[in-house]
Structure 1
């Protein structure tokens, strides 16, 4: 690509951005850059001064630096580090402290001098913090400033803990954390109420003085804030936008984090495009929303004035384009998610044959089935298909402790009512109660408590599946081993997780598999569970299982985000009565009602999220000029 074309393609971007295929390649590139800096400074007999960040984003960089040290002899003896921030108050030995994080991910594995490590002190008395912050600044300046500052970005746009409202010339100081920042950290602390409300952070002014600044971001959860930081106006509401004023900054992104930048999201605004079917569909839907007209009312003038003149010339006249896209959208809508028997299926999302399909709905947590596709689930059963549901994990970390005591009290009273000796149960109950009263944030539950929490989720899942119409022998609980750690941080996936899934698939030999394709699940369980299913199907296919060739994998979305309209391949409309039935199925999950343990960044109840999301999907279709339904559940087919 010529320099002129590159400038045109990136003209909406107000600072340098480099996009890599995935975070692993990007992390290795950044770590190599750091390594070369260290070597260059060592060759001149100078120390390297690094500003370091914490959180999930730089973990890959630190892992590669450790590898470079152990396998290629990279030395950190002449490196001095300054961490961006630390929660306040915070003991350095706490699991959630950034001291612990840095030790576990980097410092314990390299030859850095401990005296050269600097991290804000979360144990100081309040009155000593201002002096500490001034000394932190003085120490950086005394060493000649930061050679390179590594940054992540929070969903509020914060860098370090410089939350919205931070001044561009701010120095190291004590700050109050934004509510969204605390919600994002809640899983590490066992609930938002345990997340500190304050932190000590380097200021934007301090960061700005670094000779090089590298901000990294991975995955789609960061895409919207990256767009604001890169293309938006400079504003204290998004502190990362201040980096637009620096001549020494580079944003390093993976493709998902970059996905909402103009050159990727609406490329017709930046360059000539190759107008394949999918891009044409996306562009026409975008244009319809942009000018607030149904697709069939779009004009040549609309195309020409919104960067789509080339499409009008290449594939016009525009009315033919409009009709083509309208028909494609119309053909995604079906009231027969298992296929319509004895019907022409050439333009339908699902096959007509076999008329009665074996279908399996995989649910990562014990309520994702009804929350995400409850209406379709019920309709598949109503239309006579052989439907199974598989709950992949126990979900036992997402139950309140007082629910455990309540269920135990019920069991004790029930045993007493039928004359059974309940002394052993009472002893277990007292031990549970004592543990819970002294329990620390994110402390692993006892095995007995873990079991009761799993039983609660299991009984609710059975009730929900029965309400959808399933017999008990069609309800499967996998309890995949990767999840059963008792902690919010799960075990690595092993062959055992995949083998259990292969065994279930082999026993059912489904024509349809429904799986959670919501990779923005803030807890990460969905993508792990999805990858297990895909790997299981691939292994069965490679082993010569002939039925796998006829097994279609449909992705649904969870409680967070719906598919984009242009991505949807099957849209199942729901009537008002079906919306009500779906809500009732969700209500069977009482432990997740009102206020779940890990709500993510959305405080609404799950049934409200699901209902409003499904209604929004229907409204989007309606605004494009299609039929006006009460609600819709959406699916995308995954080719494995």
Structure 2
């Protein structure tokens, strides 16, 4: 019976999928499978032929293999490896090369023989690449093929660098990288313009010949492409779907990467559910969107025809369910994000007391506050709350060199206009310009250039916060050290960052915290800043003020919360939308074309307005009042 139930739950899935609680646990499981294969082969006196991947996904697998080697004696002397791919052109000693990656993350720490390591050569002349690729295939075949191929998956659905359009029988070859793939790699190269346009990759046909294939994926950023790869139709548009044809493949996912699979995202379509309040709200809002009706117009037929007959039977009649969900959604709407004084707050998202709250808006980058929560930020100030803003990082990484040089030129010209001798500045300018002209991809800026770029972002942030009405002594520049440190160190300590955050929290003792909960940020800065803040609060939990401190998470720069997740929605009038836009305009270095735009080509103010309007539209379609725009929040609970 259990087996039948599992088959029912996974009936939309066209290949085997194993889901683990988190990436660390899953990585250890994969590493153990690799280790067991090596041990079994060693006992038979045979070599193990591994196909290896690069990128963030396999790093913890390699770390566990290193641990197994050092602590449990796992030997790699009889292991032969073939890497999937390499950028082209690419020098092997470059920081971004996969030779460097593999050496730093695995090969330099185990007893593998150097002659047993094979990685595509990014230094070849282009006329020699085809012959190299043919020889690469022959080498794999000469060892009897790959015993195990480890894969990640790109957001285009690529495996290796087999981008959309790749043929299922393709071999090792030179390919052109998809624009999204290059954008995803831009942070490692200091901008998309520095990412190579081409790469050498094993083909899908080569991968297919492996006797075992494990594709791994972690976190929400991969959830949508995993759904397409696992449940979608086989298509060259998503090369990973070709793996559905293999009898030797398994997808290993963490819970976040699996989140959009049918059995997790809409489980009522595949099994009977335990109908919790959260699941009921999600299902009813999903149903309203699916049949394109307001919540109060949903019928029993709608429930029955869309896998929700069990809900109707157990919790019905359905009209009562509809009314309950309608009220829940309606009660998230408030024009008083700091709580409405002298009002009944039993049906409101925020407390009425204290009437005047101390508030900290944490902003990971110097513009996240106005982009993601600008309307609410301004509203809190207008309604008389004691609002502080804390810019957690300098943001100096996201300023063009040209802008930094322009500001130094201005300083020189201003000094001359005042009759001052700007010789030191001119020398600084010359050295900065020389550095910029000879700068290597992702090369760390000299300190003076970091300082100028940081000051540019600081000035913009001050202008934005002042526009929102925040007094200067409530504008805090934390400049958390991890931000610059992580550019030159792999193992970063966050202790001083945590201490700095604790100091600010103790100083303000906030009743409300607004923090970025948008972990799709391609740089990971949002998540790091969030983790630092949470750790600081946990260490302060014995202090009395923390018991009355609520945390609200915001999104908006990259994507928005799902409607069923929203716990507070703050409507914005047309005039408030314009005020928010003007606050975003203060961040001129991020306008037009920022250094790291992500995969959304719209300017930040445009995407912010569009998403706020989309949230309002989603509420309108559910049958709520029609607003111009809405900012959305989810409450985070430490316990």
TM-score bracket for this pair, using the shorter chain length: over 0.9
Q: Quick check: 1:425 aligned with 2:425?
A: yes
Aligned residue among 620, 631, 634 for 1:636? 634
Post-superposition offset of 1:482 = 0.7
Post-superposition offset of 1:435 = 1.2
1:360-398, CA deviations, whole angstroms, 9 ceiling, x for partnerless residues?
000000000000000000000000000000000000110
Aligned residue among 586, 609, 612 for 1:611? 609
Aligned residue among 559, 582, 590 for 2:557? 559
Give the equivalent residue in structure 1 for 2:106.
106
Give the equivalent residue in structure 1 for 2:10.
10
Pairs within 5 Å for 1:201-240: 201-240=201-240
Pairs within 5 Å for 1:29-40: 29-40=29-40
Pairs within 5 Å for 1:576-595: 576-595=574-593
Query: How far apart, in 2, do the equivalents of 1:34 and 1:485 lie?
Result: 34
Post-superposition offset of 1:155 = 0.4
1:452-484, CA deviations, whole angstroms, 9 ceiling, x for partnerless residues?
000000000000000000110000000011112
Give the equivalent residue in structure 1 for 2:446.
446
SS in 2 for 1:510: coil
Post-superposition offset of 1:425 = 1.3
- Asked whether the 8 Å contact 1:556–1:636 carries over to 2, the reply is yes
Q: Quick check: 1:394 aligned with 2:394?
A: yes
SS in 1 for 2:81: strand
Give the equivalent residue in structure 2 for 1:115.
115
Give the equivalent residue in structure 2 for 1:285.
285
Pairs within 5 Å for 1:58-137: 58-137=58-137
Post-superposition offset of 1:245 = 0.5
Give the equivalent residue in structure 1 for 2:487.
487
Give the equivalent residue in structure 1 for 2:166.
166
1:289-335, CA deviations, whole angstroms, 9 ceiling, x for partnerless residues?
00000000000000000000000001000000000000000000000
- Asked whether the 8 Å contact 2:362–2:369 carries over to 1, the reply is yes
Structure 2 unpaired stretches of 5+: none
Query: How far apart, in 2, do the equivalents of 1:558 and 1:273 lie?
Result: 32
- Asked whether the 8 Å contact 1:516–1:530 carries over to 2, the reply is yes
1:418-454, CA deviations, whole angstroms, 9 ceiling, x for partnerless residues?
2222111111111111111111111111110000000
- Asked whether the 8 Å contact 1:557–1:635 carries over to 2, the reply is yes
RMSD: 1.0
Post-superposition offset of 1:485 = 2.8
SS in 2 for 1:603: coil
Q: Quick check: 1:476 aligned with 2:476?
A: yes
Post-superposition offset of 1:489 = 7.2
Structure 1 unpaired stretches of 5+: none
Give the equivalent residue in structure 2 for 1:320.
320
- Asked whether the 8 Å contact 1:482–1:491 carries over to 2, the reply is no
Query: How far apart, in 2, do the equivalents of 1:549 and 1:169 lie?
Result: 61
Post-superposition offset of 1:414 = 1.1
- Asked whether the 8 Å contact 2:485–2:492 carries over to 1, the reply is no
Post-superposition offset of 1:558 = 3.8
Pairs within 5 Å for 1:133-532: 133-485=133-485, 487=487, 492-532=492-532
Query: How far apart, in 1, do the equivalents of 2:344 and 2:491 lie?
Result: 47
- Asked whether the 8 Å contact 1:184–1:600 carries over to 2, the reply is yes
Query: How far apart, in 1, do the equivalents of 2:473 and 2:489 lie?
Result: 32
Query: How far apart, in 2, do the equivalents of 1:411 and 1:126 lie?
Result: 47
Query: How far apart, in 2, do the equivalents of 1:54 and 1:497 lie?
Result: 30
> Cα distance 1:556–1:493, how it changes in 2: closer, same or farther (>3 A)?
farther
Query: How far apart, in 2, do the equivalents of 1:325 and 1:318 lie?
Result: 11
Give the equivalent residue in structure 2 for 1:41.
41
Range that drifts further, 597-606 or 384-393:
597-606
Range that drifts further, 589-598 or 126-135:
126-135
Query: How far apart, in 1, do the equivalents of 2:11 and 2:493 lie?
Result: 42
TM-score, normalised relative to structure 2: 0.99
Query: How far apart, in 1, do the equivalents of 2:492 and 2:336 lie?
Result: 38
> Cα distance 1:486–1:403, how it changes in 2: closer, same or farther (>3 A)?
farther
1:583-606, CA deviations, whole angstroms, 9 ceiling, x for partnerless residues?
000000000000000111112111
- Asked whether the 8 Å contact 1:157–1:239 carries over to 2, the reply is yes
Query: How far apart, in 2, do the equivalents of 1:419 and 1:493 lie?
Result: 46
Query: How far apart, in 2, do the equivalents of 1:115 and 1:335 lie?
Result: 67
SS in 2 for 1:66: helix
Query: How far apart, in 2, do the equivalents of 1:101 and 1:261 lie?
Result: 31
SS in 1 for 2:253: strand
- Asked whether the 8 Å contact 1:357–1:512 carries over to 2, the reply is yes
1:215-259, CA deviations, whole angstroms, 9 ceiling, x for partnerless residues?
000000000000000000000100000000000000000000000
> Cα distance 1:244–1:86, how it changes in 2: closer, same or farther (>3 A)?
same
Range that drifts further, 16-25 or 603-612:
603-612
- Asked whether the 8 Å contact 1:575–1:630 carries over to 2, the reply is yes
SS in 1 for 2:485: coil
- Asked whether the 8 Å contact 2:494–2:532 carries over to 1, the reply is no
Query: How far apart, in 2, do the equivalents of 1:244 and 1:486 lie?
Result: 39
- Asked whether the 8 Å contact 1:173–1:201 carries over to 2, the reply is yes
Query: How far apart, in 1, do the equivalents of 2:454 and 2:211 lie?
Result: 52
SS in 2 for 1:397: helix
Give the equivalent residue in structure 2 for 1:620.
618
- Asked whether the 8 Å contact 1:332–1:570 carries over to 2, the reply is yes
Query: How far apart, in 1, do the equivalents of 2:494 and 2:444 lie?
Result: 22
Post-superposition offset of 1:494 = 2.1
> Cα distance 1:489–1:311, how it changes in 2: closer, same or farther (>3 A)?
farther
- Asked whether the 8 Å contact 1:397–1:486 carries over to 2, the reply is no
1:397-432, CA deviations, whole angstroms, 9 ceiling, x for partnerless residues?
100001111100111111111222211111111111
Range that drifts further, 579-588 or 188-197:
188-197
Query: How far apart, in 1, do the equivalents of 2:19 and 2:489 lie?
Result: 29
- Asked whether the 8 Å contact 2:18–2:251 carries over to 1, the reply is yes
- Asked whether the 8 Å contact 2:486–2:492 carries over to 1, the reply is no
Give the equivalent residue in structure 2 for 1:600.
598
Query: How far apart, in 2, do the equivalents of 1:34 and 1:295 lie?
Result: 50
Query: How far apart, in 1, do the equivalents of 2:375 and 2:571 lie?
Result: 9
